[in-house]
A and B are shown apart, each in its own frame.
Chain A
């Protein structure tokens, strides 16, 4: 086979694999196009999908390391919908695991930890610095920012969870020990925002003032100008501007 033909085949096969594994596609068609048996095609697609789960675990979703159902639930999810936006997959996956999580830990801290960790994954989104917001223009929050109601004390459980997959027989004890790191009775949710860092800078997960959260969340429905935001938030607007979290809502 000529080198040029081989190289175009490499590119095409990788593209087909990515498309099939991440956005849904005919596995048999992928296998045929790559001159592979169907079952090997299935194994490759499965393996590619699990790289996304590995990434989620390495990016902060440590709960999946102690929940054996995480892998089959994730693979089922990957078979039903696109998983190419891996940051967004974290929330969808955790919503599917929440029922089991609340059964395993009725205190609610495992569920809360998963929600907190979803925010950690969201904060991994990278972004470029948007243009500085101009006066008189309707503004909205950047797409890479996310606001949710979470108890940030769940961080104590997160830190105590392993950042790697553990043997099934050890998982329950490891989880029990991690939950013991949180001694409060029940979680108490407060507004929290996650946003990605600019360039190589790390992202942030931070508590928000109730008023600031309400105003910023409201921008999705009713964009506001800088002047209006200053009137509502006063000096609390400064940290929003310093983190480049506002963009023009025009053309959105």
Chain B
């Protein structure tokens, strides 16, 4: 099993306790628009972190497949990219806003792969650095829709030469919701470059498989991760947006790391 970096995602609300813990992770995801490069404390925090771990800049608001990116997200992504020499920023294979209205959800694209490729390239040019794109959870039983989404993601990213941030939890949720075998969905990504992986803990609520980001990683996703990393090593980020607790998050990061380093069971 190749050795890969495993870490979590930085959350401002957990303050110094999570910042300290993150300094001990091999990698740490940072949502660029949540930190102000002009703010002395923010600049100090991320610079301190950058000296201790590999920062993986991430955004929720570049609106890659939509009309315009959030000006704040673009400005901060560019500024942090310059200040901390980021090699790449990740966001989602989705659109999130239009004409300044941003409802705070990820919407799957409705255009064909060629148009989506052009949008990726446009946003990358505006950003001034490479982009990697993450698959969202689709929460649908519609198998054709699920396949179409992943097919377009792979085609558009390949066409734009943009690597993928492969969210294995979201893929697992898509398989659970649609009844499609997970390997059939994974197959869409056979020929794409994987920049990194996300894992997290989703749930089934009110009949919907949702990426709630509030639980530990399920064993099935850990197995998927082991198989994926052994074939295409890349950094792994544990996503946790709710049920926040610095100790629980760090414990889960350690558990994932251990799962990737323990020998394969015969």
Determine the distance from Cα of A1 to Cα of B112 in the docked complex, in whole angstroms. Answer: 8
Quick one: which of B66, B95, B141, B242 has the most chain A CB within 10 A?
A: B242
Interface residues of A in 26-54 (CB under 8 A from B): 34-37, 39-40, 42-44, 46-48, 51, 54
- Dominant secondary structure of chain B at its interface with chain A: loop
Interface assignment of A69: CB less than 8 Å from any CB of chain B: no
Residues of A with C-beta under 8 A to B142 = 37, 39-40
B115 touches A34 (CB 8 A): no
Interface assignment of A230: CB less than 8 Å from any CB of chain B: no
Interface assignment of B10: CB less than 8 Å from any CB of chain A: no
Determine the distance from Cα of A13 to Cα of B107 in the docked complex, in whole angstroms. Answer: 10
Given known contacts A17-B105, A43-B210, A10 and B141 CB-to-CB distance under 8 angstroms: no
B243 touches A166 (CB 8 A): yes
Determine the distance from Cα of A47 to Cα of B145 in the docked complex, in whole angstroms. Answer: 20
Interface assignment of B101: CB less than 8 Å from any CB of chain A: yes
A164 touches B14 (CB 8 A): yes
CB distance from A101 to the nearest CB of B (A): 20
B107 touches A6 (CB 8 A): no
Determine the distance from Cα of A23 to Cα of B220 in the docked complex, in whole angstroms. Answer: 39
Interface assignment of B214: CB less than 8 Å from any CB of chain A: yes
B208 touches A43 (CB 8 A): yes
A39 touches B104 (CB 8 A): no
Residues of B with C-beta under 8 A to A9 = 110
Q: Please, which residue of chain B has its CB at the minimum distance from the CB of A10? A: B98
B13 touches A37 (CB 8 A): no
Q: Please, which residue of chain B has its CB at the minimum distance from the CB of A35? A: B110
Interface assignment of A128: CB less than 8 Å from any CB of chain B: no
Interface residues of A in 147-178 (CB under 8 A from B): 162-168, 170
Determine the distance from Cα of A40 to Cα of B140 in the docked complex, in whole angstroms. Answer: 5
Quick one: which of B66, B110, B112 has the most chain A CB within 10 A?
A: B110
**What is the total number of residues of chain B having a CB less than 8 Å from a CB of chain A?**
36
Interface assignment of A14: CB less than 8 Å from any CB of chain B: yes
Query: Which of A14, A39, A163 is in CB contact (< 8 Å) with B141?
Result: A39
Residues of B with C-beta under 8 A to A166 = 243-245
Determine the distance from Cα of A35 to Cα of B145 in the docked complex, in whole angstroms. Answer: 10
CB distance from A32 to the nearest CB of B (A): 13
Interface assignment of A11: CB less than 8 Å from any CB of chain B: yes
Interface assignment of B263: CB less than 8 Å from any CB of chain A: no
Determine the distance from Cα of A168 to Cα of B243 in the docked complex, in whole angstroms. Answer: 7
Interface assignment of B194: CB less than 8 Å from any CB of chain A: no
B101 touches A40 (CB 8 A): no
Annotate B160-178 by CB proximity to A: 1 below 8 A, 0 otherwise: 0000000000000000010
Residues of A with C-beta under 8 A to B95 = 10
CB distance from A74 to the nearest CB of B (A): 13
A167 touches B243 (CB 8 A): yes
Query: Which of A35, A43, A48 is in CB contact (< 8 Å) with B103?
Result: A48
Residues of A with C-beta under 8 A to B14 = 164
Given known contacts A6-B115, A10-B98, A14-B101, A39 and B140 CB-to-CB distance under 8 angstroms: yes
A46 touches B208 (CB 8 A): yes
Interface assignment of B139: CB less than 8 Å from any CB of chain A: yes
Residues of B with C-beta under 8 A to A47 = 104-105, 210
B103 touches A14 (CB 8 A): yes
Residues of A with C-beta under 8 A to B78 = none
Q: Please, which residue of chain B has its CB at the minimum distance from the CB of A167? A: B243
Residues of A with C-beta under 8 A to B11 = 164
A11 touches B104 (CB 8 A): no
B103 touches A1 (CB 8 A): no
B139 touches A43 (CB 8 A): yes
Query: Which of B13, B67, B112 is in CB contact (< 8 Å) with A163?
Result: B13
Interface assignment of A21: CB less than 8 Å from any CB of chain B: yes
B98 touches A14 (CB 8 A): yes
- The residues of A with any CB-CB pair to B shorter than 8 Å are 1, 6-7, 9-11, 13-15, 17-18, 21, 34-37, 39-40, 42-44, 46-48, 51, 54, 162-168, 170
- The residues of B with any CB-CB pair to A shorter than 8 Å are 11, 13-14, 66-67, 95, 97-99, 101, 103-105, 107-108, 110-112, 115, 138-142, 145, 177, 206-208, 210, 214, 242-245, 248
Per CB-CB distance, the 7 closest pairs between chain A and chain B, nearest first, are A10-B98, A43-B139, A164-B13, A51-B104, A37-B142, A167-B243, A37-B140
Contact sample, A vs B, 8 pairs, CB 8 Å cutoff: A6-B110, A10-B67, A13-B98, A39-B140, A43-B139, A47-B105, A165-B244, A166-B244
